[in-house]
Amino acid sequence: MTEMPSATRLATDIRAGRLTAVSAVTAAIADIEARDTRINSVTRIFGPGAVAEAEKIDRRIAAGDDPGPLAGVPFGVKDLFDVAGEVTTAGSVVLRESRPATQDATVVARLRAAGAIPVASLNMDEFAYGFATDNAHHGITRNPHDPARLAGGSSGGSAAAVAAGLLPFTLGSDTNGSIRVPASLCGVWGLKPTFGTVPRHGAYPFAASLDVVGPFAGTLEDLQMVYETMYGADMPDLPSVSTLRVGRLGGWFADNVSEPLARAIDAVSTHLGGAETVVLPEAARARAASFLITAAEGGNLHLPHLRRHAQQYDPATRDRLMAGALQPAATVIQAHRFRSWFRAQVHAVFRNADVLVAPATVGEAPRIDQPTIMVDGQSVSARANLGLYTQPLSLAGVPILSVPLAISGGLPLGLQLVAAPGREAALFAVAAELERAGLAGRVPLPMAKGR
C-alpha cells in the first residue's frame, strides 16, 4: 500500500515539475477506487472535472505560472459543501434531485484558487446529525485502523479518508464535535476554528448558531496551510510555548476517561509543565443546552422538508429533527440564556490560561456491532454520547484543535487543545511542541506498522 504524500510535499513536487497534477489526481482516484471499499469514506468521485482541473494546473506550470501553494493537491469535501457542477446532498436522498451547485462554497473556491483540486465527496451522518457516520443511504464509514469499529461523525468520511492515506486533507463541519470526534477516533489532525471566522457560505447548514467548517489533515503542517487558505490570511507568528500558560480541564472532562487516555493526558500535561487543573462550571448543563439548541435549530430548518418528504429521511434523523421542531419556545430561550452565561465563564478562564487540554472522546473507537461507550458506569449509545466532551465547548465558540496522540500504542486516542477566540496560533504552537516531543502525530495504520 502506497499512501498519498503530504499536501506540502505533493505541491512542492508538482510546482517543481517532478510530478504532474494529472498524475497526482489520477493516482488519488485510482487509490480510492481500489481501497475505499474497505472503509466506505467516499460517496462520489468528481473524476472528469478533477482531471480537467489538473490539466489546467499542469499547463500553467509549463507556461511558467505559479498555480499556488497547494498546486495540484487532491482533496475531498464532506457532502455538504457546494462544488460547482455537483449536487450537494448533505448525506440524504431528500436532496438528491436538487440542482447542481452553480459555484463552489467559499472555502472550496479559496482552496481552488490556491491550486488544490476537489476529487470526491465524503460520507457523513445524514444532515450532519450524529457522531457515527452510520448513513442509511450510503452505508456506514468504517475506521481504517479497524474496520470493525466506528470512524465517528458526523464528518466520519473526511477523517477516514485522511487516516487511510487516500487524501492528504479533507473538509468537514463541526456543530457539536463533528470534526473533533472522528479526528480523535481515526488518529488524524482536525481543527474547529473560532466561530464565525471561516466562511460557511455554500455549506449546507445544520444549527446556524453553532456550525463551523474546518479541515482534517495527516500532518500538522498541512492542517495549518489548509486552515490559513480557508481563513483567507496567514496566522500571526506562532508564539513560543514557554510563554503560554497551559491548563488542564478537570471535573466533567476528567470523569469517564479511559485509563489509557488518562495516562496519555497526564504525559502531555507533564511535558507542558504540569498544567494546572481548571474546572468549568455547569458543563453538564452546557451539554444539555447544546443538545436543545441544535435540535431546535435543525428541526426548524428541516420542517418544510419534513412536511413533504418525511419518509425519505433516516428514521433516526427524522425523529430527532421533529422532536427538535416541537420544543417549546420558552425551553429554547432558556437554553440560549444559559449559553450566554456559560460562554462568559469559558472566556473568563482565558484571563489566566492561554491553552486548555481536554479529552476529545472517552477513549478508543467503539465497535460497530456494539456501538456503545461507558458513561457513569452505564453502557450508553455511542451515536448520542460520543460528543460528551465536545458539546459543552461548542457553546463557547472557541477554536479547538484535535490532536492525535502518538503515545497510545493501540487504537487512536485524541485530545482537544482549546484557546480563546482568535487564538488559533497558540493552539498550533502547543500542537507543534507535542509533535516535536513525539507525543502527538497521525497514528499509522496497522499495515504501515508491518503487521
Q: Which sequence positions are flagged as catalytic?
A: 78, 154, 178
Residues in the chain: 451
- Distance between CA 186 and CA 216 in Å, rounded? 11
Give the helix/strand (H/E) hosting 341.
helix 329-349
- Distance between CA 213 and CA 194 in Å, rounded? 10
Q: Which of 268, 285, 263, 422 is nearest to 340 (CA)?
A: 285
- Distance between CA 397 and CA 337 in Å, rounded? 15
- Residue 335: count of CB within 10 angstroms of its CB: 22
- Distance between CA 63 and CA 115 in Å, rounded? 15
- Distance between CA 57 and CA 437 in Å, rounded? 37
CB proximity list for 319: less than 8 A, separation 6 or greater: none
CB proximity list for 198: less than 8 A, separation 6 or greater: 107, 212, 213, 214, 227, 230, 231
Task: Please classify residue 34 by burial: count the beta carbons closer than 10 Å to its beta carbon, then call 0-12 exposed, 13-18 middle and 19+ buried.
Answer: exposed
Q: Which of 213, 285, 272 is nearest to 436 (CA)?
A: 272
Task: Please classify residue 259 by burial: count the beta carbons closer than 10 Å to its beta carbon, then call 0-12 exposed, 13-18 middle and 19+ buried.
Answer: exposed
Question: H helices of 192-314, where?
Answer: 220-231, 259-271, 283-309
> In this structure, what C-alpha cell is assigned to residue 317?
434523523
Give the helix/strand (H/E) hosting 148.
strand 146-150
- Distance between CA 12 and CA 287 in Å, rounded? 43
Give the helix/strand (H/E) hosting 107.
helix 106-113
CB proximity list for 422: less than 8 A, separation 6 or greater: 194, 197, 399
